[in-house]
Amino acid sequence: MLEGRRIILGVSGGIAAYKAIEVCRRLVDSGAHVVPVLTEAAHNMVGPTTFTALASEPVKTSLWADRDPIPHTRMGQSADAIVVCPATARVISDLATGRSGDLLAATLIATAAPVVVCPAMHTEMWEHPAVQDNIATLLRRGVVVVPPEEGRLAGGDMGKGRLAQPETVVAAVHQLFVGGDGGVEDKLLSGRQVLVTAGGTRESIDPVRYLGNRSTGKQGHALAEKASQLGAEVTLVTTSGIQSSNSIKRVDVVTAADMHAAVSASSNTMDIIIMAAAVADFRPSDVSNKKLKKADGTPTISLEPTVDILAELGAAKKSGQILVGFAAETNDLHKNALAKLSRKGADLLVANDVSAPGVGFAHDTNEVTIFSANGDVQEVPLSDKESIAEAVLRAAAQLLVD
């Protein structure tokens, strides 16, 4: 978490500036004191009022608007980190060459704090040797660059240059404060092996159709990132397209059988296994190798059960290993969760009522109850999925035997 950290959020004039609003909100939710600094051009893209309302201080733009004659030096000196999101080619160039044409550029040059730069621009600009040289300069100086992603760009073009997702940007900021000089994060899981599954499995019906579910993998990915921040060696078995940090060993899978194989391959050496994935309980017993045609009439799809991975792990648990299950319920949360906890031989069961607002699949927030086999019950109120991940990992870490 970022409690007490003073973070300058620099927003420059790219179309992606609207995503910085979400970054601002998430940083504030993590406890950071956020100071928004918008360039003149950013004012054409987003309203400063929104940032002023969400951040910890009003928006600043000019070197001359303040009574303080040297706002950039004060801000640069007092910052714990500066995040530029989005960073245009111009701001990247200013930082690389030491130009201080406006408040943001001047503050970036007047700081010794870590800097995170999140470029966003058209592919041609991103790939231009001038921009790439500037990025190489920044990387050499220790600036953290959150690379742009492939995807749709302004004007409908496709390619590399789209601003990274807000969660990726915020994870990069969190990463600055992991461990080290009395950072806010401790290394609770240092030296521990943690396996997390994420996303919803897909079971083929024919080459174009599948049976799936509504899980996006957000909670599982948040667990993997948080476990890594807490010092664990993390293996993430996922069906989701969400990016993950380089520190995480990632295995991409599609079906319940793939997930079963990937989990079985590494489960023996794990200290904590968290089954956050929504694994299909059934799959079509016959997968057609040709597309089923309407002209052949309505098909009858017969199903067969998949392996219950968690129950299998629970039945052959390695001593000292902690197993965590998830349960998405729509009714009788406590009763169903407690039954599932004992049926699957898990140590913890994280249950959420997916019918409640802001909870469960596809949301950025979640509200869960963590049931422990030792009888403890912990309610975690509605919060972002990173905070839920931390609560789950702390509960699991408490059960680990040294």
* Region binding ligand CTP by CB under 6 A among candidate stretches 105-113, 237-245, 294-302, 307-315: 307-315
In whole angstroms, what separates CA 12 from the centre of its chain? 23
Q: Which is nearer to ligand CTP, 105 or 277 (CB)?
A: 277
Residues in a beta bridge with 282: 305
Coil, helix or strand at residue 38: strand
Cβ nearer to ligand CTP, comparing 20 with 309 = 309
User: Is the CB of 38 or the CB of 346 nearer to ligand CTP?
Assistant: 346
For ligand CTP, give the closer residue by CB, 91 or 333: 333
Interaction of residue 9 with ligand CTP, rule CB under 6 A:
no
In the complex, least distance from residue 274 CB atom to ligand CTP, rounded to whole angstroms: 8
Contact between 273 and 307 under an 8 Å Cβ cutoff? The reply is: no
Cβ neighbors of 301 (< 8 A, separation 6 or more) are: 205, 284
Q: How far is the CB of 100 from ligand CTP (least distance, A)?
A: 52
Using CB under 6 A as the binding rule, whether residue 126 contacts ligand CTP is answered as: no
If the CB atoms of residues 221 and 340 are measured against ligand CTP, the closer one turns out to be 340
Among 15, 85, 143, 327, binds ligand CTP (CB under 6 A): 327
Rounded to whole angstroms, the Cα distance separating 240 from 218 reads 8
Q: Is the peptide bond before 86 cis (omega within 30 degrees of 0)?
A: yes
Q: Per CB under 6 A, which of residues 340..379 are in contact with ligand CTP?
A: 340, 344
Rounded Cα gap, residues 19 and 84, in angstroms: 12
Instruction: Check residue 333 for interaction with ligand CTP (CB under 6 A).
Output: no
Alpha-carbon distance values, 245 to 17, 116, 159, 225, 236 (Å): 23, 15, 21, 7, 11
- Decide if residue 325 touches ligand CTP (CB under 6 A): yes
The identity of residue 212, as a single letter, is G
Q: Which of residues 223-252 bind ligand CTP (CB under 6 A)?
A: none
Query: Residue 260 Cβ, how far from ligand CTP at the closest point, in Å?
Result: 8
Catalytic residues: 213
Of 85, 105, 205, 310, which one interacts with ligand CTP (CB under 6 A)?
310
With CB under 6 A as the contact rule, the residue among 38, 256, 341, 393 that binds ligand CTP is: 256
Three-state DSSP at 327 gives strand
Which residues face 162 on adjacent strands? Answer: 149
The answer to the question of residue 306 lying near ligand CTP (CB under 6 A) is yes
Q: How far is the CB of 345 from ligand CTP (least distance, A)?
A: 11
Residues in 270-299 at the binding interface with ligand CTP, rule: CB under 6 A: 275, 277, 279, 281
Judged by CB under 6 A, which stretch of 166-174, 177-185, 187-195, 325-333 contacts ligand CTP?
A: 325-333
Angle at 400 between CA 399 and CA 402, to 5 degrees: 135
Asked if 308 is part of the footprint of ligand CTP (rule: CB under 6 A), the reply reads yes
Q: Which of the stretches 28-36, 98-106, 136-144, 324-332 binds ligand CTP when contact is defined by CB under 6 A?
A: 324-332
Compute the chain's Rg from CA coordinates. Answer: 24
Which residues neighbour 9 within 8 Å (Cβ) at sequence distance 6 or greater? 20, 23, 24, 27, 34, 35, 36, 37, 51, 55, 83, 85
DSSP string, 103-120: HHHHHHHT--S-EEEEE-
Q: Which of 375, 330, 331 is nearest to 349 (CA)?
A: 375
Q: Which one of 309, 341, 393, 396 is in contact with ligand CTP (CB under 6 A)?
A: 309
Rule CB under 6 A: which of 169-188 touch ligand CTP?
Answer: none
- Catalog residues that contact ligand CTP under the rule CB under 6 A: 256, 275, 277, 279, 281, 306, 308-310, 325-328, 340, 344
